[in-house]
């Protein structure tokens, strides 16, 4: 005979989060179905032969808070490394559009080049534009899962620490390798590698401990 359990889940901010929790619960033997809502913060689970402790463990292992119990943190969760890499990749794509576009504009458009902006000024503008395009891309991606207004709220609430560190790493590599705000074919790859690797551990920590990154 099946029974129904209701579990309070913390750390969910969008339908991507609730879907992740649902999938983790339904992967358990004995769980028949799971109805999870990030709006109510509840998981209603229909199960037969699966104990509550197993369900709580599945939620915390997915990176969320079950019944107020924080998941145990460690750096060895391959699934979280993979998910945080996916999150970081999309952030990098968004940041690169605005960042590279700004640098290229000052490098190849005579009018902008004639303005005589310093390397630092161009880099700061590139960082700002990169963050803006990253937020725009995140909003577009999340809009497939939720209303546009909510998608924008979630996107703009994503970690600025991750985006700023990514932008800083990319532009520092550019200045060190080219001596200024310049784009060449050979400098793009190391810029992208630095931009990806710098915030990746932070994104892992944030996802593993708080379950807040959503894609």
- Taking phi first (over 0 means left), then psi (-120 to 50 degrees means alpha), and beta for anything else, what does residue 179 get? left
Ranges of the chain with pLDDT below 50:
215
Range(s) within the chain of domains with CATH label 3.30.70.100: 3-66
Tell me the per-residue pLDDT of 81-91, one tens digit each, with 9 for 90 and over: 988 898 899 89
- CA-to-CA distance for 215 and 207, rounded, in angstroms? 11
Tell me the per-residue pLDDT of 195-212, one tens digit each, with 9 for 90 and over: 999 999 998 888 777 666
User: So what's the pLDDT on residue 69?
Assistant: 64
Tell me the per-residue pLDDT of 146-179, one tens digit each, with 9 for 90 and over: 778 877 877 777 778 899 999 999 999 999 999 9
- CA-to-CA distance for 96 and 65, rounded, in angstroms? 33
Q: Report residue 69: phi and psi, to 5°.
A: -95, 115
What's the CATH fold of domain 3-66? Alpha-Beta Plaits (3.30.70)
């Amino acid at each position: 005979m099946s029974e129904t359990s209701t579990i309070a889940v913390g750390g969910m901010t969008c339908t991507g989060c609730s879907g992740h929790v649902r999938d983790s619960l339904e992967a358990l033997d004995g769980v028949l179905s799971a109805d999870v809502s990030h709006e109510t913060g509840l998981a209603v689970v229909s199960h037969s032969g699966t104990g509550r402790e197993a369900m709580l463990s599945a939620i915390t292992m997915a990176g969320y808070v079950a019944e107020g119990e924080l998941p145990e943190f460690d750096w060895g969760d391959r699934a979280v490394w993979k998910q945080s890499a996916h999150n970081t990749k999309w952030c990098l794509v968004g940041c690169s559009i605005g960042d590279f576009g700004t640098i290229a504009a000052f490098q190849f458009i005579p009018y902008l080049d004639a303005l005589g902006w310093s390397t630092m000024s161009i880099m700061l503008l590139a960082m700002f534009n990169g963050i803006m395009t990253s937020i725009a891309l995140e909003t577009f991606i999340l809009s497939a899962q939720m209303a546009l207004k909510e998608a924008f709220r979630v996107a703009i609430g994503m970690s600025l620490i991750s985006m700023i560190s990514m932008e800083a790493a990319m532009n520092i590599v550019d200045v060190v390798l080219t001596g200024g705000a310049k784009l060449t074919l050979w400098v793009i790859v190391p810029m992208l590698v630095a931009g990806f690797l710098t915030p990746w551990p932070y994104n892992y920590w944030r996802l593993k401990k708080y379950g807040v990154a959503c894609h």
